[in-house]
């Protein structure tokens, strides 16, 4: 199969769809891999590194989109990329379609077959291709939050761990999944006073044992969210209903009751955000202020640490890239229902229920397309 990797064009996005090791593995399996020139410069790799693995170099993203049977990327295709996709082509990347009607429309119009990293499933209701970036974003959320709490960034000027004789920052993490657990781990490590809210009791049990009582694990209700949010210095939004729009758990009214200079890091922004006041921001201009509360809502947080993120992502995606390259997407999905759960769009049909529900569009059962 002809596999192509474009250079990412989203703001400050330096990750690469295929690491050199992944490219080598696909080539060893008999496939042709082409990468756009300079695509890996952001992780310190030259075209020659990819050439040495046996890959070809294309002189533009346009050539990649025009000539590849499977395109492997990181971020959701931007409008100019969507317009270069075509019927019969396979796209493997993050999509986050629920809050993005424009991208959904363009992908449906293109006829492309699009498999979303974030809805591929794994054993025990896990999301194995979202998890590595959630680990990164969770850890970064504590770092970003600590930075935003500095007075010069608009924050109230509280140090996460305080110092002896002063109180540490109060950090609230809403959603104790992969992002939440990693955010809490770093915030605890910085010495903050951490509370995690989740509505899964089994998740709270796991977290309580993992943190050995050093994080407060509390059941999530509208009452507990409001009570903890208004006394917190930093709130980290980390909820997920897979593939769907994030529930708006922090209302405008709660924001109005929060302390001036408190900070919210809405990691769930890629699924629309879990605060009523959130809107996507970029690494270039990451924050805005509503009612004195600093909002950090960057939708591609792991792009800030592209070396760690590219390798962590590739470790998870490679088996699925190989399966689709070796067998074609249909046979690979017949063999693996977890991969079938990644199918979001095929030949003008929307095949992910939560996206169809979010946008009031017709839904086609993906199982009906692989018979």
Ligand X SMILES: NC(=O)C1=CN([C@@H]2O[C@H](COP(=O)(O)OP(=O)(O)OC[C@H]3O[C@@H](n4cnc5c(N)ncnc54)[C@H](O)[C@@H]3O)[C@@H](O)[C@H]2O)C=CC1
Is 327 assigned a ligand-binding role in the annotation?
A: yes
Residue 97: both structure tokens together:
């379609």
Phi-psi region of 328 (alpha: psi -120 to 50; beta: other; left: phi over 0): left
Report, in Å, the least distance between residue 223 CB and ligand PYR.
30
178 lies in the binding site for ligand X (CB under 6 A): yes
Cα separation, 42 vs 303, whole angstroms: 10
Alpha helix stretches (DSSP H) within the chain: 20-28, 47-52, 61-67, 79-82, 101-110, 131-148, 178-189, 201-210, 222-231, 252-257, 306-327, 329-335, 337-340, 353-359
266 lies in the binding site for ligand PYR (CB under 6 A): no
C-alpha torsion 141→198→281→312, nearest 10: 50
174 lies in the binding site for ligand X (CB under 6 A): yes
Report, in Å, the least distance between residue 125 CB and ligand PYR.
18
Using CB under 6 A as the criterion, what x/- string covers residues 116-145 for binding ligand X? Answer: --x--------x--x--xx--x--------
Distances in Å between the Cα of 329 and the Cα atoms of 44, 74, 84, 185, 316 are 32, 18, 20, 38, 17
Query: Which residue is catalytic, options 100, 233, 266, 270?
Result: 270
To the query of whether residue 295 is one of the catalytic residues in this protein, the response is no
Instruction: Residue 280: name its binding partner from ligand X, Mg ion, ligand PYR, none (Cβ under 5 to 8 Å by kind).
Output: none
Report, in Å, the least distance between residue 135 CB and ligand PYR.
10
Instruction: Residue 198: name its binding partner from ligand X, Mg ion, ligand PYR, none (Cβ under 5 to 8 Å by kind).
Output: ligand X
94 lies in the binding site for ligand PYR (CB under 6 A): yes
302 lies in the binding site for ligand PYR (CB under 6 A): yes
Asked if residues 276 and 251 have their Cβ atoms less than 8 Å apart, the reply is yes
Instruction: Residue 268: name its binding partner from ligand PYR, Mg ion, ligand X, none (Cβ under 5 to 8 Å by kind).
Output: ligand X
Residue 316: both structure tokens together:
């998870």
Closest CA to 180 of 141, 154, 151, 218: 141
Residue 368: both structure tokens together:
């009906």
Helix axis angle, 131-148 to 178-189, nearest 10°: 40
270 lies in the binding site for ligand PYR (CB under 6 A): yes
Cα separation, 351 vs 167, whole angstroms: 50
Q: What part of residues 243-262 is at the interface with ligand X (CB under 6 A)?
A: 246-247, 249
Is 116 assigned a ligand-binding role in the annotation?
A: no
291 lies in the binding site for Mg ion (CB under 5 A): yes
To the query of whether residue 270 is one of the catalytic residues in this protein, the response is yes
Indicate which single residue of 54, 161, 292, 328 sits in contact with Mg ion (rule: CB under 5 A): 292
Instruction: Residue 99: name its binding partner from ligand X, Mg ion, ligand PYR, none (Cβ under 5 to 8 Å by kind).
Output: none
Going by the annotation, the residues of the binding site for substrate are: 15, 75
Kindly list the catalytic residues: 96, 270
């Amino acid at each position: 199969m002809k596999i192509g990797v474009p250079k990412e064009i989203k703001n400050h996005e330096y990750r690469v769809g295929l690491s050199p090791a992944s490219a080598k593995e696909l080539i060893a399996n008999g496939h042709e891999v082409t990468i756009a020139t300079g695509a890996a410069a952001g992780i310190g790799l030259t075209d020659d590194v990819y050439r040495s693995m046996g890959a070809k170099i294309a002189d533009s993203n346009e050539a990649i989109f025009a000539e590849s049977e499977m395109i492997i990327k990181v971020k959701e295709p931007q409008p100019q990329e969507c317009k270069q996709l075509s019927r019969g082509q396979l796209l493997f990347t993050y999509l986050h379609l629920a809050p993005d009607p424009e991208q959904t429309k363009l992908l449906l119009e293109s006829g492309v077959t699009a498999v979303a990293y974030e809805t591929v499933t794994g054993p025990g209701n896990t999301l194995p291709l979202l998890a590595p970036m959630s680990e990164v974003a969770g850890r970064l959320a504590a770092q970003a939050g600590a930075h935003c709490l500095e007075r010069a960034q608009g924050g109230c000027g509280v140090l996460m761990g305080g110092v002896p004789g002063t109180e540490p920052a109060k950090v609230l993490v809403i959603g104790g999944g992969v992002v939440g657990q990693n955010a809490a781990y770093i915030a605890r490590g910085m010495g903050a006073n951490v509370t995690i809210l989740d509505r899964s009791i089994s998740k709270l049990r796991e977290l309580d044992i993992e943190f050995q009582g050093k994080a407060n694990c509390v059941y999530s209700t509208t009452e507990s969210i409001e009570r903890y949010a208004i006394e917190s210095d930093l709130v980290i939004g980390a909820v997920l209903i897979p593939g769907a729009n994030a529930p708006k758990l922090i209302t405008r009214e709660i924001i109005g009751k929060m302390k001036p200079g408190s900070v919210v890091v809405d990691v769930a922004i890629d699924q629309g955000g879990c605060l009523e006041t959130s809107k996507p921001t970029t690494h270039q201009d990451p924050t805005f202020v509503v009612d004195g509360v600093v909002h950090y809502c960057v939708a591609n947080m792991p792009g800030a640490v592209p070396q760690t993120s590219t390798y962590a992502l590739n470790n998870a995606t490679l088996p699925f890239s190989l399966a689709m390259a070796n067998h074609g997407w249909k046979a690979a999905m017949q063999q693996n229902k977890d991969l079938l759960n990644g199918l979001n769009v095929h030949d003008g049909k929307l095949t992910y229920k939560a996206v169809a529900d979010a946008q009031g569009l017709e839904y086609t059962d993906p199982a009906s397309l692989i018979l």
